Structure 1
Amino acid sequence: MGTTVFERQRPNAVTVDHALTGTRQAVFWLEDAPGDAYPSLTASTTADLVVVGGGYSGLWTALLAKRREPSTEVVLLEAKTIGWAASGRNGGFAESSLTHGEENGRSRFSDEYDQLARMGRENLDAIETIIHELDLDADWERGGAIDVAIEPHQVEWLREGANGEDDVFLGEAEVQASVHSPTYLAGLFHKRDSALVHPAKLARALARACADAGVRIFEHTPVTELVTGGSRGSAGSGVDVHTAARDLTGRPSAAVVRAKKVALGTNVFPSLLKRNRLYTVPVYDYVLMTEPLTAEQLDAIGWQGRQGLGDSANQFHYYRLSADNRILFGGYDAVYHYGGRVREPYEQRETTHRRLAEHFFTTFPQLDGLRFTHKWAGAIDTCSRFCAYFGTARDGRIAYATGFTGLGVAATHFGAEVMLDLLYGVETERTSLKLVRSKPIPFPPEPVASVGVNLMRWALDRADHNEGRRNLFLRTMDAVGLGFDS
């Protein structure tokens, strides 16, 4: 078994120790984007549409519902605060892909992949249009992204992905001219299919746009149950959305919203629909953020185009510049906890943050002396096909979109459109897609789920150490539709 560049070119431990000294366990994006506060729901009410979840899925759904029909009474319920979970702590890569990349898309949706690629670009364009039209403060940059080869066997992978127009192959000299790293052997520049955004600013700007459009937003209002069908006093043709907020004195306030329709944007958290609970598992992703680079440090690495970057391993890294020239560096480890639990203590994992720091200085040894100011983590809603799935329940009164598997910054806008199409019975190009009409394979219950997820992670790591060659386990998973190739 071979080694990877991160093992062959390991940085000095002193460099890593210095960089992590004083690093705080905190999400930079959330600190950098103070948002408006919204009240808790303390009295029962009614609505045409209740949206559950104050992340991108919920916010886009609420905003687009009002843009489609301004008279729609929309209530959005968030268990904590707007954008506090994945929407406020991701890398800020807005990708056009709706299928987690071309290879995954072609293998699962071969007959409609070209259509999906076009619709993904249109979706990204639509987000950009709304951001400019509403003047949303989100640090939006449409500069594209570069996939980089850091091992010899990855070079040909990138060459095969080039089309000479929107996806341009960069030889070693060309990629080094764009961004200088001793690890880079080649690159694939996606010119129009990727943008960067400040995640928390986007979430909080969308919330303000929703409020301006007349959406009633309630924070600190967890939803506990959806009651339909006339049972327990619910409206026979609607949905009673039961909450567990607290009033101004801190006392529990079990308010109910009686709604005609409900859209679920709960993503990584256990679904309010029991039928969906085995379709996703939470996988923790970890991130570091540096202090702002000086002009000299920026010159040392180039990166004048400010493209998003990601390497081509199975266990890959993603990184980008913030508006004030910090480097966000994340990825590699993907950690699943037994039982699919989502817990705040899981966000602290010193071994992973140290590993990321080591890999950072292997990538950019010329930045020796730079410090990390923030470290954090977040849970990703992973499903077995690695891209979102959609559907309805309770006679079409409830819709959901989930399973974005780390590519939800842009795809949640598409998912919001799908949920609204499904809820209101609108037949569109979206609703005819196999992507929308089909479901992933559910994960098995514990303990099999834990064994399977960790075996997959081990096998992908082995492939990275074996020139990308996939072992029997991975080939079997590929054959049954459970394989993953980043």
Structure 2
Amino acid sequence: MAPGAMSRSNDWTKSLSDAQPVPYWLDDPGRPRPEAALTGVETCDLLVVGGGYSGLWTALIAKERDPERDVVLLEGREVGWAASGRNGGFCAASLTHGLSNGLTRWPDEIHKLEELGARNLDAIEEAVARHGLDCDFERTGEIDVATEPYQARELADWYEEIRAKGLAEGIEYLDAEAVREQVDSPTFRAGLWDRRGVAMVNPAKLVWGLKRACLALGVRVYERTPALTLGPHGAGMAVRTPYGGVRARTVALGTNVFPNLVRRVRSYTVPVYDYALMTEPLGAEQLASIGWKNRQGLGDSANQFHYFRLSSDNRVLWGGYDAVYPYGGRVRAEYDDRPETYAKLAGHFFTCFPQLEGVRFTHAWGGAIDTCSRFSAFFGTAHQGKVAYAAGYTGLGVGATRFGAEVMLDLLAGERTERTALEMVRRKPLPFPPEPFAWTGIALTKWSLARADARDGRRNLWLRTMDRLGLGFDS
């Protein structure tokens, strides 16, 4: 759909009148009670900082690799309260923020990255079954849809390119008729259906399930316990907390968008705020009007794109488009709510699905994404290899964080593995400049992306320069 497109009338604004400004996934009566805060001093083999996907996968895999390893996990608030409980629930195999980004940045190892990503998604599906994680896991795939003629041409050309490179296994090109047989929107002109590379999950239930699995394996989890400082202590490391601290042989940092305890890492990420709406459950007649029998995730092909999917109770999650960078890179609760974006998203929703006129939204929320200049995670160590970190997932961390956990554990073990040998793991992205240059550059990039969407995808000099430098901005 055209950027800024609106529905036939302004009646859609009424659809937001009862929307609660809280994440739908976290608004769940089954939400577990937080574990007690840490008081006093703990000692352990491995300390994991961060109770989102990065931290929980790291703790879980560490115990699975070595059940005797003593593992402690600290979470500053409640497990899953930040990005891990606020996202769209797209669990993708891609480790590189999509095949196009990966092929551009790591052409020589893209086949290995795709293989590792597919194995990682399979491992997530196996863990869901093995640990009984009740998280509405559905291996439905995802359709990348074109909503403009130039996007349809680009999708067809891209499909031929990846076929020629042997990268199109499990991917099917859909023309306008075929894509509308899957999901019926008058705006859809073509699509690429990745049948196996994406699963849908309830993101909050996944993170809560991972917490339960960690506890069952003996991980000691402390919530409402922010890690304040990190420094050497004897042969290991020490982290100070409000009521005590932890002394550990090694430390894994999974704090992502929040300021890293290794200060030199902070310039590599900036927070970008993303927003989403959730409808009321659709009735049988409403569902029939749009099809969607195969329940795929969807995303459109614009630079300022939307992502959308069905929940287990047939609500439609509709998010994306705006990506808001706050000056100075601050992460604040007040940025989680943005009515002007909700209004814009509601208008776009009814342009895409005019047959759903009258549907109301029950939830509207936002959250911060840890964005880096290459859009996909980066990794490293500090303090003579006693500390490992992973960050910069740029909105595709539901699946890739499990891979990042394995990388951190490999690095802490000092092992050369097929993961640590990757150029993607060995090299870092370019850092962001200080203010006001970061804000100016991101604002100019956003303006240029919107302009490209309005000009049949034609990229201006600024975007072409950013492409050559390996820099960019993506929601």
TM-score, normalised on structure 1? 0.94
Deviation at 1:485, TM superposition (A): 7.4
Instruction: Give the CA deviation at 1:185.
Output: 0.4
Residues 48 and 251 in structure 2, CA contact (< 8 A), matched pair in contact too: yes
Partner deviation per Cα, 1:181-239 (whole Å, 9 max, x = no partner): 010001100011000000000000000000000000000000000011xxxxx22x100
Q: Please tell me the residue identity of whatever aligns with 1:429.
A: E
For residues 313-341 of structure 1, the C-alpha deviation after alignment (integer angstroms, 9 at most, x for no partner) is 00000000000000000000000001100
What residue in structure 2 maps to residue 310 of structure 1? 299
Task: Quote the offset at 1:102 in angstroms.
Answer: 1.5
Letter of the aligned partner of 1:274 in structure 2?
A: R
- Retained in 2: the 8 A contact 1:478–1:484? no
Give the alignment partner of residue 81 of structure 1, picking from 78, 81, 93.
Answer: 78
Pairing of 1:293-442 with structure 2 (within 5 A): 293-442=282-431
| Number of the residue aligned with 2:178 | 174
Letter in 1 for 2:338: R
The alignment status of 1:238 with 2:242, answered yes or no, reads no
Q: Do residues 72 (structure 1) and 69 (structure 2) align?
A: yes
User: Is the contact made by 2:143 and 2:192 (CA closer than 8 Å) also made in structure 1?
Assistant: yes
2:473 & 2:99 partners in 1: Cα distance?
Answer: 12
Q: Does the CA contact (< 8 Å) of 2:280 and 2:315 recur in 1?
A: yes
SS at match of 1:277: helix
Supply the distance in 2 between the matched residues of 1:134 and 1:256 (Cα, whole angstroms): 30
Residue 214 in structure 1 maps to residue 211 in structure 2: no
Q: 1:483 deviation in Å?
A: 3.5
CA shift at 1:23, angstroms?
A: 0.9
Match of 1:195 among 199, 202, 223: 199
Tell me the SS of whatever aligns to 1:286. Answer: strand
Q: Distance in 1 between matches of 2:322 and 2:293?
A: 28
Shift in CA distance, 7/222, structure 1 to aligned 2, threshold 3 Å: closer
1:225 paired residue number = 229
Partner of 2:440: 451
1:25/1:348 contact within 8 Å kept: yes
Aligned to 1:141: 138
1:161–1:188 contact (8 Å) kept in structure 2 = no
Q: Partners in 1 of 2:115 and 2:319 — Cα distance? A: 28
SS in structure 2 at match of 1:223: coil
Match of 1:231 in 2: none
Contact 2:380 2:389 (8 Å CA) reproduced = yes
Distance in structure 2 (CA, Å) of the matches to 1:175 and 1:130? 32
Q: Is the 8 Å Cα contact of residues 3 and 450 (structure 2) preserved in structure 1?
A: no
Task: Give the 3 Å change call, closer, same or farther, for CA 46–168 of structure 1 in structure 2.
Answer: same
Kindly state the Cα deviation for residue 476 of structure 1 after the two structures are TM-superposed. 0.5
Mark the CA change 1:40 to 1:9 in structure 2 (over 3 Å): closer, same or farther.
closer
Distance 1:340 1:485, change over 3 A: closer
Aligned to 1:186: 190
> Moved runs in structure 1, 4+ residues, more than 4 A?
6-9
State how far apart, in whole Å, the 2-side matches of 1:8 and 1:415 are: 38
Task: Go from structure 1 to structure 2 and tell me whether the alpha carbon gap of 1:209 and 1:36 turns closer, same or farther (over 3 Å shift).
Answer: farther
Secondary structure at the aligned position of 2:267 is classed as coil
SS at match of 2:206: helix
SS class of match (1:336) = coil
| Contact 1:5/1:183 (8 A) holds in 2 | no
Aligned in 2, Cα 1:77/1:7: closer, same or farther, shift over 3 Å?
Answer: closer
* 1:76-103 residue CA offsets vs partner (Å, 9 max, x unmatched): 0000000000000100000111111112
CA shift at 1:165, angstroms? 4.4
1:376, 1:364 → 2: CA distance?
21
- Rounded to whole Å, the distance in 1 between the matches of 2:465 and 2:269 is 21
Q: Is the 8 A contact 2:7 2:354 kept in 1?
A: no
Structure 1: 5+ residue runs without aligned partners? 229-233, 245-252
For 2:23, give the aligned amino acid: V
Partner SS for 2:136: coil
Q: Secondary structure at the residue paired with 1:333?
A: coil
1:22: which partner in 2? 18
- For the residue of structure 1 that corresponds to 2:323, the secondary structure is strand
Q: Distance in 2 between matches of 1:169 and 1:100?
A: 20
State the one-letter code of the partner of 1:25.
P
| Aligned position for 2:124 | 127
Opposite residue 216 of structure 1, the aligned amino acid is: R
**How many angstroms apart in 2 are the aligned matches of 1:37 and 1:484?**
35
The one-letter code matched in structure 2 to 1:337 is P
Please give the root-mean-square deviation of Cα atoms over the aligned residues, in Å. 1.2
Deviation of 1:349 (Å): 1.0
Residue 38 of structure 1: which of 35, 38, 42 is its match? 35
In the alignment, which residue of structure 2 is the partner of 1:250? none
Question: Compared with structure 1, are the counterparts of its residues 365 and 177 closer, same or farther at alpha carbon in structure 2 (3 Å cutoff)?
Answer: same
SS at match of 1:51: strand
Name the CA distance, whole Å, in 2 between partners of 1:86 and 1:125: 22
Whole-Å Cα distance in 1 between the matches of residues 229 and 304 of structure 2? 37
Structure 2: gaps of 5 or more residues:
none
Say whether residues 1:461 and 2:450 are aligned partners: yes
Deviations 1:236-285 (A, max 9, x none): x10011112xxxxxxxx2x0111000000000001111111100000000
Q: 1:43 to 1:11 in 2, by over 3 A?
A: farther
C-alpha change, 1:277 and 1:485, in structure 2 (3 Å) is closer
- Structure 1 Cα separation of the partners of residues 294 and 200 of structure 2: 12
Are the equivalent residues in 2 in contact too, given 1:104–1:485 (CA < 8 A)?
A: no
1:248 maps to what in 2?
none
Task: State the 1:135 CA deviation.
Answer: 1.2
d(CA) in 2 for partners of 1:73, 1:165: 41
SS at 2:403's partner residue? helix
- Determine if the alignment matches structure 1 residue 96 to structure 2 residue 100: no
Aligned residues: 467
Distance apart, 1:402 and its partner CA: 0.2
SS of 2:293's partner is: coil
- Contact 1:104–1:484 (CA under 8 A) maintained in structure 2: no
